[in-house]
Amino acid sequence: MEQKKILIIEDEEPISELLSYSIKKEGFLTKIASTGEQGIQLISEFTPHLILLDLMLPDMSGFDICRKVTRDDSVPIIMITAKSDTLDKILGMELGADDYITKPFDIREVIVRIKAIFRRIELTSELIETNGFDVLQPGNGIELYKEKREVFKDGSMVELTNKEYDLLLFLAENKGRVFSRADLLDKVWGFDFIGDTRTVDIHVQRLRKKLDKSKRPSIIETVFGVGYKLVSNGH
């Protein structure tokens, strides 16, 4: 099995060294970047399987790096921030980050979060192999190419962030079933978002904007007082 590579973008040396040392002990390969510019360069050279990203960097915002990574690549991101402001966390999740950890943190929690993300990726790959097909057509002219993680609408590719894709795929694979916002946080994000379910609403709004460009009703239907479900042509 390929050894997983983790890029740590963190300007505080004691923290980056602790992260690198602890993560290596778990069998992962690591590289450290102390600036955003160096981090962007290593994303291309090191080709990590996961990024630990500090939001407060000396030369640029971690949000800018998060935006670039989710636009150009499909690398999972765990944000590390000293801020406890919920709005910062929501913005990071909206930009496509997979998880977040607030300083000061327990290194054991970081390891658990990393392993949880890799476990979800492996389970998704196993499901694709088990199903024996690559294309999912939930309706409204939408096609999901699961192995490639690509989405097309009426023949044209739709650019989605990692979490937008994961949310759409989960709803498409459970078409017609209603899920509460808390259920979706648990199933798609895989952790409790400090009781704040606005993240789900933001991602649903963004999916609707990108996918519902015709006069047909939205493929993601709101079930008032409950949550969301995926339907075809509004039925």
Query: At 163, which helix (H) or strand (E)?
Result: helix 162-173
Distance separating alpha carbons of residues 194 and 189, to the nearest angstrom: 12
The first and second tokens of residue 226, run together, are 């409950």
In a domain, 61, yes or no: yes
Q: Which amino acid is at 173?
A: E
pLDDT band at 92 (very low <50, low <70, confident <90, very high): confident
| 147 in a structural domain | yes
| Residue 45 shares a structural domain with residue 81 | yes
Rg (C-alpha) for the chain, rounded Å, is: 18
Q: Per the structure, how many domains does the chain have? A: 2
pLDDT single digits (tens) 108-131: 989 998 988 888 777 666 655 555
Q: Which domain holds residue 60?
A: 5-124
| Residue 14, domain CATH | 3.40.50.2300
Same-domain pairing of 106 and 141: no
Q: Please tell me whether residues 143 and 223 are part of one structural domain.
A: yes
Same domain, residue pair 96 and 45: yes
51 in the same domain as 110: yes
**Residues near 197 by Cβ (< 8 Å), separated by ≥ 6?**
181, 182, 185
Considering the entire predicted model, what is its pTM? 0.66
**64 within a domain of the structure (yes/no):** yes
- Both tokens of residue 205? 């709004």
Q: Does residue 39 sit in the same domain as residue 101? A: yes
Q: What are the strands, taking DSSP E only, across 37-110?
A: 50-54, 77-81, 99-102
